[in-house]
Amino acid sequence: MKTLYLIPTFIFLSFAVIGQSLSSLEDGRGNDVYESSSVGIFYRYTSNSGKYAPTVKGSTFNINVRKSEAGKGGRSWHFENPALGDIIWLLFNSDEVTNNVGQTFTSGLIGWHQAYWNVVAKDKLIIAPGFSAGDYIFGSGRDQGSPNILEPNGYYLYAGPAIKASYLLGDRAWIDGFFHWDITFSKLKNDDGAYQNIDGYKYPHFIHLGATVYDRSRFFAGIKLVRLVDRGINNDRATRFDFSLGYMINI
For residue 4, pLDDT over 60 is answered with: no
- Give the confidence band of 97 by pLDDT, cuts at 50, 70, 90: low
Q: Are strands 102-106 and 37-49 parallel, antiparallel or unpaired?
A: unpaired
Helix (H) or strand (E) holding 182: strand 173-188
The tens digit of pLDDT for each residue in 143-176 reads 666 667 889 999 999 999 999 999 999 888 999 9
The tens digit of pLDDT for each residue in 180-226 reads 999 999 998 777 777 888 889 999 999 999 999 999 999 999 999 99
Mean pLDDT of 135-141: 90
The tens digit of pLDDT for each residue in 27-83 reads 888 788 899 899 999 999 999 998 888 888 899 999 999 999 999 999 999 999 999
pLDDT of residue 55: 85
End-to-end CA distance of the chain: 37
pLDDT of residue 94: 66
Q: What are phi and psi of 83, to 5 degrees?
A: -60, -30
Per the model's pLDDT, the better-predicted residue between 195 and 127 turns out to be 127
Q: What is the DSSP string of the chain?
A: -GGGGHHHHHHHHHTTS----GGG-B-TTS-BSSSSEEEEEEEEEEEEE-SSS--EEEEEEEEEEEE---STT-EEEEEE-HHHHHHHHHHH-GGGS-TT-EEEEE--SS-EEEEEE-SEE-SSEEEEEEEEEEEEEEEEE-SSSSS-EEEEEEEEEEEEEEEEEEEEETTTEEEEEEEEEEEEEEEE---STTB---TTPPPPEEEEEEEEEEETTSEEEEEEEEEEE--STT----EEEEEEEEEEEE-
Neighbour-count burial for 127-140, b at 16+ CB within 10 Å, e otherwise: bbebbbbbbbbbbb
Classify domain 2-250 by CATH architecture. Beta Barrel (2.40)
pLDDT of residue 25: 84
pLDDT of residue 101: 58
The tens digit of pLDDT for each residue in 7-29 reads 555 544 444 444 478 888 888 88
Range in 22-31, 97-106, 107-116 with the lowest mean pLDDT: 97-106
pLDDT of residue 21: 85
| Cα(115)–Cα(77) distance, integer angstroms | 4
CA-to-CA dists, residue 157 to 185, 204, 210, angstroms: 6, 11, 21
pLDDT of residue 213: 97
pLDDT of residue 6: 54
pLDDT of residue 104: 87
How does the average pLDDT of the chain come out, rounded?
A: 87
Q: For residue 68, count other CB atoms closer than 10 A to its CB.
A: 26
Adjacent-strand bridge partners of 49: 239
- Give the confidence band of 233 by pLDDT, cuts at 50, 70, 90: very high
| Cα(200)–Cα(37) distance, integer angstroms | 43
